[in-house]
Amino acid sequence: MDKYQTFYQPNPEIPDLVQRIEQQMAQWSVVVTSLSLQQRLVLQNKSLQASLALDHNSLSLVQLQELAAGKRVVALVQDIQQAQNALTLYQQLDQLNPYQSADLRKAHGAFMSSVSSDAGHYRKQGAGVYEGHKLVHMPPAPATVKALVDELLDKLQHEQVHPLLISCLMHYQLAFIHPFSDGNGRLCRLWQHLVLIRWQPCFAYLPFTAVLKDKTRDYQKALRQSVPKYDATAFILFMLRSIHETLNTELEQLELQQSELSNLNQTAHLPDQPLVDLTQFVQLQPQKVKTKTPGPWYKTEDQILKKLKKDNRLSAKTIADELGLSSRAIEKQLAKLKAEGKLLRTGPAKGGRWQVVA
């Protein structure tokens, strides 16, 4: 591919990350088989919403789920159209081949239907990638796009490297070529996802794009670092770390959920003992039933959400102290609310913020 050829340098962290991800995927595959259809759809929608948000789509995860359920959503018309297009396309992923350029154009046509006038067609004009007013990347000339895409897909299909690396190279190189006038970012992420799904079908339910959304600046920086040298090493490392982090997070959250369900399903078994009539010893008096203050088994979720609406910087320990519960119990509730899409966390563990979405 002449000067547009992508290279990456040997790095000891790459094979280490690949090995770790392979081990995690064995666990993830087992977990996915135990999930309900609704739980799988939530994970897919989480990934889709994050990818759309990276392209400045305003729909929240809750709004996207309502849209998927056929409910009315109040948002920008263009954002709703893009989300509807994406939901339709995600139902057809098993029909797309990541190494076929016709499928790439078909996916773009579905993504950008009623949004872009040249949906499904390669760009016919020059393009530039900007950060604010600064040009950070000048993609190849439009006359070369078709040949570059065809050559790339053919080369990666026969490349003798691990599918994880193929998926990263696919993402990076398509971003470099910039085949379309609009919607390139979400197509690059989708095409990497398709390569990974071909390798491990359970990747369809891993929302690793959510990590990219939380690290938007790092994501864009990794792409920028690769472009000037035509060296994708920095980008590969960033993506592998993101996938590894997502697997850690999702496996931990699902483990917490299953632990909570197991605790709720446990019933106390009392030994068989004859009942003793105590009325002969104690004269029973009717008493007023007191309403119990909501606690960990009642409305803890509502209390947590109410507090975070007032102050989105509260820590789990602070909430636990205010509610008179353990930090561990509050952390479990927070993980459950995040998994249900009612709560989002932005920023680092220390100094970040909560966003109540339901």
Any idea which of 4-13, 70-79, 174-183, 268-277 has the lowest mean pLDDT? Answer: 268-277
Q: Of the ranges 13-22, 31-40, 131-140, 216-225, which is most confident?
A: 13-22
Structure tokens at 313: 């910087």
Asked if residue 134 and residue 62 are part of one domain, the reply reads yes
Asked if residue 317 and residue 227 are part of one domain, the reply reads no
Residue bearing the bigger pLDDT, 80 or 280: 80
pLDDT at 14: 95
CATH number at residue 326: 1.10.10.10
Q: Residue 60: is its pLDDT beyond 80?
A: yes
Distance CA 178, CA 239 (A): 19
- Choose among 257, 256, 253: nearest CA to 245: 253
pLDDT confidence bin for 289, thresholds 50/70/90: very low
Any idea which of 149-153, 225-229, 246-250 has the lowest mean pLDDT? Answer: 225-229
Residue bearing the bigger pLDDT, 278 or 258: 258
- Number of structural domains the chain divides into: 2
- Specify the DSSP element, H or E, that contains 346: strand 343-346
Pairing, β 353-356 against β 343-346: antiparallel
Q: Which of 219, 253, 287 is the last residue of a domain?
A: 253
CATH number at residue 155: 1.10.3290.10
Please check whether residue 276 lies inside any domain of the structure.
no
pLDDT at 226: 65
Structural contact between residues 343 and 337, judged by C-beta atoms closer than 8 angstroms:
yes
pLDDT at 202: 93
Structure tokens at 206: 């891993």
> 240 lies in which domain range?
2-253
pLDDT at 296: 44
Please check whether residue 223 lies inside any domain of the structure.
yes
Rounded to whole angstroms, what are the CA distances from 113 to 116, 232, 258? 6, 31, 40
Amino acid at 324: G
- Specify the DSSP element, H or E, that contains 355: strand 353-356
What average pLDDT score do residues 222-233 get?
74
Q: Which of 201, 225, 253 is the last residue of a domain?
A: 253
Asked if residue 319 and residue 179 are part of one domain, the reply reads no
DSSP state letter for 312: T
Cα angle: 294, vertex 298, 304; to 5 degrees: 75
pLDDT at 293: 43
Distance CA 226, CA 231 (A): 5
pLDDT at 355: 82
pLDDT at 144: 95
Amino acid at 12: P
Any idea which of 117-126, 246-255, 344-353 has the lowest mean pLDDT? Answer: 344-353
CB atoms within 10 A of CB 261: 11
What average pLDDT score do residues 74-88 get?
92
